[in-house]
Structure 1
Amino acid sequence: MNPTLIAVAHGTRSAAGRRQLQDLAAAVARRRPGLDVRLCYVDVQEPKVADVVPTLGDAVVVPLLLSAGYHVRVDIAEAVAGTDIPVTGPLGPDPVLLESLTRTLPAADAVVLAAAGSSDPAWRADVEEVAGRLNARIGYVSGSGPRVPDVVAQLRRQGARKIAIGAYLLAEGLFYRSLHTAGADHVTPPLCHDPAVADLVLRRFDSARLLTTATAAM
């Protein structure tokens, strides 16, 4: 019998974003009939991961997050402390997400990779890796660092006529909506709209199960 897949998202106050996260969890479940998929959160929404983990024995936590930042290292790690429940790597950075961004970006003079801001060095390193692969400038929608509208404006001053924003965000919310007023010509959809992301969640789950089985057999 498969263990439960605990899908842990950040959480959002956006009704559209909440539906998108629920749809992603449902898509994962449809791809693996019989798999129990539980969606929970680290912030804003209920149930919190710390409340779900104690109710389950055999489970795998898959962070629906784009980097191994604070929420993975602290919130999720504290939730599973003292249990045997493994935590997979986050969804990003991963070639699947890069391919998704590439498919949805139109031809443009310049690309801005828009990401949530964070002071976490691991998060910033991951964002820089993705931006480098896209040959994009980085703009943040929160926290410290260059803001997306400022980066777009600077590119305009430098002569860019068509600017595209690659939204490095999983679901809709305040951050995503702000990108549509940042002055660019195109904004890619939230990453959760790509069916390949549901497959990525299952790959993370399967990798953790294989590692757990191999460790138990040693």
Structure 2
Amino acid sequence: MSRAIIVLGHGSRHPLAEHTVARIAAAVDGEYAMLDFSAHTLTNAAMLLAARGSRQAAVVPLLFTDAYHLNHDVPEAAAEAQEASGVDLQVTPGLGTGAEMERLLGQVIGDLQDARPQRFTNIALYAVGSSTPGANDSVRDLAARVGARAVFATGAAPKGVAALEGFDAVIPLFVAEGVLWDSVVRAGLPAVLGEPLGERVAGIVRRRAEQPGPVAVGREHVA
């Protein structure tokens, strides 16, 4: 019997963020949960699966970098949910910044470009930013591979909406709507703005869930 899927979002105060994560979960025939700002916790999702007879589930974090949330918050939430529900929760790698995300962003940029008469010459990939060593570098590398430059909302430079001046396109490295991306939209930049990835990540989520074996079980994280 195949294991169930729980799509795990970071959580946001934005009113649409949870709905987007729910749509991603529906696209892969799974459940969804949020780390923060929601009553729909990982424990609640696991309890729901247990009530339906599931004994094992893949938890797919909607996170791009191997940073604090993936290494600490996610394993801790999985440990609590597993203990409460009795469901064997196997945490997979996040969405990542590898070849799959490179292809997906290439499609996003291509679709945005197809609707414009002039070629983009200066593209920004706008990401949250992290204090974990190496995390921002992985985003910079991803941006370079899709012909863009990384700009961060917090932490590392260049950062903030002001750093987006001069770009002719801005692509969000965000899965769902959120207050950080809203600040870009409200800024009235002359750049063409992309949209959060949303259900476009469903294929990556499904492949993560199909990978054999756990990456993190309970409180033990294996790099």
Specify if TM > 0.5.
yes
Q: What residue is the counterpart of 2:128 in the other structure?
A: 116
Structure with more of its chain in helix, by fraction: 1
TM-score by length of 2: 0.76
Distance verdict in 2 for CA 1:139–1:184, change over 3 Å: farther
Residue 40 (1) aligns with residue 33 (2)? yes
The one of 179, 183, 201 equivalent to 1:178 is 183
User: Gapped runs of 5+ residues in structure 2?
Assistant: 83-87, 114-118, 216-223
Number of equivalenced pairs = 195
Q: What residue is the counterpart of 1:187 in the other structure?
A: 193
Q: What residue is the counterpart of 2:25 in the other structure?
A: 25
Q: Separation in 2 of the partners of 1:149 and 1:114?
A: 9
Distance verdict in 2 for CA 1:60–1:45, change over 3 Å: same
Letter aligned with residue 61 of structure 1: V
Local SS of the residue matching 1:85: strand
Distance verdict in 2 for CA 1:47–1:188, change over 3 Å: same
How many angstroms does 1:50 deviate by?
A: 4.9
Q: CA-to-partner distance for each residue in 1:110-137, whole Å, 9 max, x for gaps?
A: 0111000210124213212211212322
Residue 16 (1) aligns with residue 7 (2)? no
The one of 127, 137, 141 equivalent to 1:125 is 137
Query: What is the percent sequence identity of the aligned residues?
Result: 27
Q: What residue is the counterpart of 2:63 in the other structure?
A: 65
Contact preservation (8 Å) 1:87, 1:208: no
Contact preservation (8 Å) 1:168, 1:191: yes
How many angstroms does 1:20 deviate by?
A: 1.3
Q: What residue is the counterpart of 1:139 in the other structure?
A: 151
Q: Separation in 2 of the partners of 1:7 and 1:202?
A: 10
Q: What residue is the counterpart of 1:199 in the other structure?
A: 203
Local SS of the residue matching 1:145: coil
Contact preservation (8 Å) 2:7, 2:24: no
User: Gapped runs of 5+ residues in structure 1?
Assistant: 30-36, 157-161, 212-218
Q: What residue is the counterpart of 1:150 in the other structure?
A: 162
Residue 168 (1) aligns with residue 173 (2)? yes
